[in-house]
Amino acid sequence: MENNKKTRKSAEIYPSTQVSPAVIRRLPRYYRYLRELIRNGESRISSGELSKMMQVTASQIRQDLNCFGGFGQQGYGYNVNYLFTKISEILGVGEGYRGIIVGAGNLGKALVRNRMFERRGVDIVAMFDIDKNVIGKEYGGAKVLDMSELKKFCDQTSVDIAVLTLPKSVADETIPLLEDAGIRGIWNFTGKELKCSDETVCEDVYLGDSLMTLCYELRTRGNLSKDDD
């Protein structure tokens, strides 16, 4: 993967008007479908075909992509490679972000080996923990360093993203350390809502909430089918 580290060269693709969070949330899904199309050797697709595949209306697709200037041509459809590249740029894939994983427990170790970081252009450069039993070990190419070295490490190697996989009981006290080290993005797996400064971007993953939503759906559907009997 080409590394455009810190070179914000593509200012022209920023939307001139505010794009709604709903559209932004949908873009990664386009990204996934387009990647699949590229893998299957498809070079163009009509909004109708894309619509059928993604099960959203063609008009929704046109609207979404028009937010960014639109990349389709009447009668030709979308150039898959071009659209994929543009969406990648919009999403910040290939910005060359550097990440660390804070908390080298089971989840941290599982995530560091996940190829999604590489695919999304995020380079995981180290892991941090306070447990002497894991400090010094290496997982998925990333070495576990002592939390006390965080600031020094980040002074030498600027870090954009911290993946928080530590226990929720120590989550709050960790935030100022990360912010002090110049980290601006936090990917939060602690299951706790964090108190970050306004400058920090925090994306939360609440696995427990997702599991409960599944249980709720199972339960209500189970009830419905019982009523159907």
Chain residues that interact with its own copies, rule: CB under 8 A: 8, 11, 14, 24-25, 27-29, 31-32, 90-93, 95, 97, 105-107, 109-111, 113-114, 116-117, 119-122, 160-161, 184-185, 187, 191, 193, 199, 201, 203, 205-223, 225-226
In the three-class reduction of DSSP (H, G, I as helix; E, B as strand; rest coil), residue 136 is classed as: coil
Shortest distance, position 182 Cβ to its own copies, whole Å: 12
E strand intervals along 22-173:
44-45, 72-73, 77-79, 97-102, 122-129, 138-139, 142-146, 161-164
Residues 35-65: b if buried by 16+ CB within 10 A, e if exposed = eebeeeeeebbebeebbeebebeeeebeebb
Shortest distance, position 111 Cβ to its own copies, whole Å: 8
Nearer to its own copies by C-beta: 28 or 73?
28
Strands 201-204, 185-188: pairing kind: parallel
Nearer to its own copies by C-beta: 90 or 135?
90
Nearer to its own copies by C-beta: 52 or 148?
52
Shortest distance, position 178 Cβ to its own copies, whole Å: 14
Shortest distance, position 120 Cβ to its own copies, whole Å: 5
| Alpha-helix residue ranges (DSSP H) falling in 94-206 | 106-112, 116-119, 150-156, 171-180
Nearer to its own copies by C-beta: 76 or 116?
116
